[in-house]
Structure 1
Amino acid sequence: MGKELMTIGELAKRMGVTVRTLQYYDKEGILKPSAFSAGGRRLYAAKDVVRLHQILSFKYLGFSLEEIKNHILPLYTPEQMVSLLIQQQKAIEEQIENLQEAAQSIEAFRSEVENIKSVDFKKYAEIIELLKMGNDAYWVWKCFDDTLTDHIKDRFGDDPALAEKTYQAYLDLLDEAYLFVQRGEPPESACSMVLAEKWWNMIMDFTGGDLTLLPKLESFNDDKTGWDKELAQKQQEIDDFMNKMLDCYFKKQGMDIPEMEVES
């Protein structure tokens, strides 16, 4: 009998696992020893080696011990195995997708840390939170100063969808203004006045009517270092047109607005 059975240490060495792992498998009821010695030592037979090999094989495929114990080892048909393997494949593919997204977020965050040029854990946490949300506008948050980020928290903290709606409005109006510039639309035309009204309303939606934020937005627009490159290029090309357009709009509306650059 001693020649046919292995001690826990012998089995562990043969299969490349630790004794502690085999003890845990015994405790969880996934791999019980076939016998015990007179001194109470666990002894394993050839069938236990086969079962352990099965367990380790399915662990390699990403199955948990609970799944192996309760769903795989009790299987009776190939069809049942195929069904479980399909489920596992989908789960692994989802994990891969999540890891790829995490890798992309790390790359984006690394780039932003380089651009910030200083250690700012408050800003880091805010950027990471936006990345977790899959928010394409996180670069805006990174470029805003504390006054503007605090304003966003107060105005949009309870309604992230409203912040996203405002950002999307900016993107739409930016594209519209860009087309105006490309086709040579006069800044004082009727079409331009309609655009100016929409642009100004967007600014009012963002600021909540707080005009003291305008100088901050002006500074944000002046320095496009950390902007999304494509948006920075578009905004740069429309800045002069938008300044003239808004100036015409304010005069027609009889509005006394301090001179400023285009805000977004």
Structure 2
Amino acid sequence: MPKNERALPDGFMTVGKLAERMGVTVRTLQYYDREGLLSPTAESGGGRRLYTDKDMIQLHQILSLKSLGFSLDDIKNRLAPLDTPADVADALAAQAAAVREKIAVLTESLTAIETLRAEVLQMQTVDFKKYADIIVNLQMKNEFYWLIKHFDERTLDHIRSRFDKESGRAMLETFNRLQDEALRLQAAGEPPEGARGQALAAAFWQMVTEFTGGDMEILAKLMEMGSFDGADAAWRQRQAAASAYIEPALDAYFTRIGTGPTGEDMQ
């Protein structure tokens, strides 16, 4: 053992020794000291910084949180005193939670990357605007993200201009809720022209009007959704079943109000 190490009090190590054991530089430890993240427990008579095994555990906390992407300011707020076994256990539990959170984020990112790759190969064209739209919809957890590759640029521009993440998510929730309601009414034997069927038709047409802004070309494009190539079989089946109820409900609705979807007189 070097002479300067032998002269240390029991249970202490120099900044150089701590840096060596933890795989960091002395400069890093000096920086953490200046920033108030990790100060030496003591100083020798000669002014050398002295650290303990407890300091090494705290340094492990810092390095672990830093590797998870936390800023030094975040780490300061997350560091806990390590004076009792409960303190240590709590600190480790917090680290474990941070690791699990990071794993979840990375897993979600990996899934999005793999999904986008599959969509790119299916599209067979380079279209970064569509790629970006797909990413946004994956972040929204929109299960219909794959429909984007079937829309033309005019339809997508329309959607981009009318909806942000929040309003887009609300529209999707409305669409799914109304489809679920159509399937429920169908299963219950409720006639499309009945009161409940007509309430559904009114709500559905209001949603369509809000989505299209009255643009019939956009409406025509939406009507093609059930026939897109590559659509999942279960999705096709659901669309067909819901449409089998919604379409006659809308027919009855337009007849009742006397105006068709394009504003024509139904009388």
TM-score interval w.r.t. the shorter chain? 0.5 to 0.7
Partner of 2:23: 17
Match of 1:233, SS state, is helix
Contact kept in structure 1, 2:19 and 2:26, CA below 8 Å: no
The whole-number CA distance in structure 2 between the counterparts of 1:33 and 1:173 is 71
Q: 1:125 and 2:132 equivalent?
A: yes
Candidates 212, 224, 227, aligned match of 1:207:
212
Partner of 1:246: 250
Report the aligned-residue RMSD: 4.2
Partner of 2:115: 111
Residues 100-159 of structure 1: per-residue CA shift (max 9 Å, x gap): 1431342144224313413443233333334445556645556544333321221123xx
Q: 1:162 and 2:149 equivalent?
A: no
Residues 54-84 of structure 1: per-residue CA shift (max 9 Å, x gap): 444333343668869xx77xx6943xx7447
Task: Give TM-score scaled by structure 2 length.
Answer: 0.66
Match of 1:97, SS state, is helix
Farther-moved stretch of structure 1 (174-183 vs 241-250): 241-250
Aligned-pair CA distance for 1:13: 9.6
Q: 1:225 and 2:230 equivalent?
A: yes
Q: 1:186 and 2:176 equivalent?
A: no
The whole-number CA distance in structure 1 between the counterparts of 2:20 and 2:105 is 39
The whole-number CA distance in structure 2 between the counterparts of 1:233 and 1:92 is 43
The whole-number CA distance in structure 2 between the counterparts of 1:165 and 1:13 is 53
Q: 1:173 and 2:186 equivalent?
A: no
Residues 22-73 of structure 1: per-residue CA shift (max 9 Å, x gap): 243245544699598xxxxxx98xx94x63x5444333343668869xx77x
Aligned-pair CA distance for 1:232: 4.4
The whole-number CA distance in structure 1 between the counterparts of 2:89 and 2:169 is 40
Candidates 147, 151, 154, aligned match of 2:154:
147
The whole-number CA distance in structure 2 between the counterparts of 1:13 and 1:161 is 48
Which one-letter code corresponds to 2:60 in the other structure? Y
Contact kept in structure 1, 2:112 and 2:135, CA below 8 Å: no
Higher RCO (C-alpha under 8 Å, 6+ residues apart): 1
Partner of 1:262: none
| Identity across matched positions, percent | 25
Contact kept in structure 1, 2:140 and 2:169, CA below 8 Å: no
Match of 1:249, SS state, is helix
The whole-number CA distance in structure 2 between the counterparts of 1:13 and 1:76 is 20
- Tell me the matched-pair count: 237
The whole-number CA distance in structure 2 between the counterparts of 1:175 and 1:122 is 31
Aligned-pair CA distance for 1:170: 1.3
